[in-house]
Amino acid sequence: MDNTAVILARLQFGITLTYHFWFVALTLGLSVLVAVMETLYVFKNKAVYREMAKFWGSLFLVNYVVGVVSGIVQEFQFGMNWSEYSRFVGGVLGVPLAFEALTAFCVEATFIGIWVYGRNVVPRSIHLLSIWLVALASNYSAYWILAANAFMQQPVGYRLEEGYLALVQIKSILLNPYLFYQYIHTVMASFASSGLFVMAVSAFYLLSQQHHKLAVKSFKLGLICAWMAGILTFASGHLYTQYLVKAQPMKVAAMEALWESAESAPFIVVALIDEEQQRNKAEISLTGMLSVLAANHSQARIAGMKEVQEQFAALHGAGNYIPPVLLLFWSFRFKVAVGLLIILVTSLSLWYFKKHQLQVQRLLLYGVIWTLPLVYLSHLAGWLISEVGRQPWLVYGLQLTEQGISRNVPVSHLWITLISFNGIYAIMAGAAIFFMRRRILIGPEQPGD
């Protein structure tokens, strides 16, 4: 198997996934925030809430369209570049992906039209119901998609038939313990980024002294969302990692650059990692802290990469089962740092907002704006940990990544699709940013001041 083909296929899918999720992350939370704004308008009958819903809804729509298009391309890649994987797992993963399209996506596609074009046509109650159905369907859709990904991380509810996987119980897919942790963490991270997005745009208006009433009310709503979701993201991430200690010990060991198994395992703050020699040349660590974080006990034993490597080699045959340690180690620390930054920025914003001093805290408002791109980069770091940390497995313990790519796709074709798709993504992203920026600069149609 040509290693170049594997690298290009992985790179293409990874870029598509990252590009897609950057838009999905905003869709999941912003759809709910827009639904809340519509609800406030219906029950309080104040024009400012109507304009909030229309303004933020227009930004949501641009983001939603690009997310849908990139998601379709992502599914096509299963057949284009990963046909062996599709044949191997199609009997299982075809079910959740089909349910997502036939239920969640159909609801979204139907009711988003009613919400966009029916404001002055259908009754307010129906109009409000339509955006809530879009918001709920979007988050319901994420459950089915993550159910498929959770199966790749921890296969359940299957049996092998003539070398291929067959579904035994859909209930097992939907109740996969891995999915429970992954879904909560992913959705909360999406809500945190959506809240930060609303805060950042509102902070821009406050700094430029535009659309004051809408900006203050939007900032408050985004702040509540980002603050609560930021804390829940951090807490769910901690529980998620504790679960991974048992479910995917190699991933956790790589995230922590822990080569040797240890009782009272140290939490390594920074390290000079030598992957070739399988050691850390230098490190700053906190003795016993990893055991506390991973197992709530300072003397808990944590398996190191060398031990897990031996276990995998004995179970699955000779091979390198250690993922890229340097990438995972720093991705995890970046992700944690951004999570703490979100909590800090939102907590300070909440403090000054309650004291009615937010508008004079210009440095904090600029901090809110510059936190937003870091949040998007943290999404990338999170997916790198999730997907690269599973390597060399495509389906954990069942199929190696190199076994899943299409065998009849030439490397030249992979180069062509990689370059062309990335060019299209760049144009689409540029268009989305252009239209969203233009809408933000124009501001709401009727400021409600």
- Range with the poorest average pLDDT among 4-13, 34-43, 181-190, 197-206: 4-13
Q: How would residue 334 be classed by pLDDT, with cut points 50, 70 and 90?
A: very high
Please tell me the distance from the alpha carbon of residue 115 to that of residue 63, in angstroms, as a whole number.
16
Residue 1's pLDDT is: 52
Q: 71 in a domain, yes or no?
A: yes
| Percentage of residues of the chain with pLDDT beyond 70 | 99
Closest CA to 396 of 171, 143, 182: 182
Name the residue among 133, 131, 113, 109 with its Cα closest to residue 40: 131
Burial class (CB in 10 A: 0-12, 13-18, 19+), 310: exposed
Average confidence score pLDDT of the chain:
88
Highest-pLDDT range among 54-63, 263-272, 340-349: 340-349
Is 291 among the domain residues?
no
Nearest of 60, 10, 124, 83 to residue 407 by alpha carbon? 83
Distance CA 50, CA 41 (A): 5
Determine the average pLDDT of the residues in 185-207. Answer: 94
- Give the CA count within 13 Å in the CB-facing half-sphere of 54: 17
Stretch 220-234: mean pLDDT, rounded?
A: 94
Look at residue 409 in the predicted model and tell me its pLDDT.
82
Q: Show Cβ contacts of residue 250 under 8 Å, excluding neighbours closer than 6 positions.
A: 305, 308, 309, 312, 321, 322, 323, 389
Into how many domains does the chain fold? 1
What average pLDDT score do residues 230-239 get? 93
55-72 confidence digits (pLDDT tens): 999 999 888 888 887 777
| Confidence bin at 295 (pLDDT 50/70/90) | confident
Does any domain span residue 405? yes
> What's the confidence (pLDDT) of residue 329?
94
Residue 228's domain spans which residues? 3-248+324-442
Identify the band that residue 169 occupies on the pLDDT scale cut at 50, 70 and 90.
confident
Per-residue pLDDT tens digits for 118-153 = 888 888 889 899 999 999 998 998 899 899 899 999
- Rounded distance between C-alpha atoms, residue 217 and residue 60, angstroms: 18
Residue 411 belongs to some domain of the structure: yes
d(Cα 66, Cα 306) in Å, to the nearest integer? 43
pLDDT given at position 446: 63
- The answer, yes or no, to whether residue 30 has pLDDT greater than 80, is yes
Residue 436 located in a structural domain: yes
Q: How many residues does the chain have?
A: 449
Q: Is residue 262 assigned to a domain?
A: no
Q: How far is CA 89 from the centre of its chain?
A: 23
Rg (CA), the chain: 23
pLDDT at 413 over 90: no
Q: Is the pLDDT of residue 29 over 60?
A: yes
Query: What is the CB neighbour count within 10 angstroms for residue 163?
Result: 7
Q: Using CA atoms, how far apart are residues 266 and 269, in angstroms rounded to an integer?
A: 9
In a domain, 339, yes or no: yes
**Is the residue at 101 inside a domain?**
yes
Indicate whether 447 pLDDT > 60: no
The answer to whether 178 and 186 have CB atoms below 8 angstroms apart is no
What pLDDT was estimated at residue 448?
Answer: 46
Q: What is the mean pLDDT of residues 368-372?
A: 93
Q: What is the pLDDT of residue 186?
A: 93
* pLDDT band, residue 449 (cuts 50/70/90): very low
Percentage, residues of the chain above pLDDT 90: 40
pLDDT above 70: residue 421: yes
Asked if 261 and 245 touch (Cβ cutoff 8 Å), the reply is no
Burial of 164 (0-12, 13-18, 19+ CB in 10 A): middle
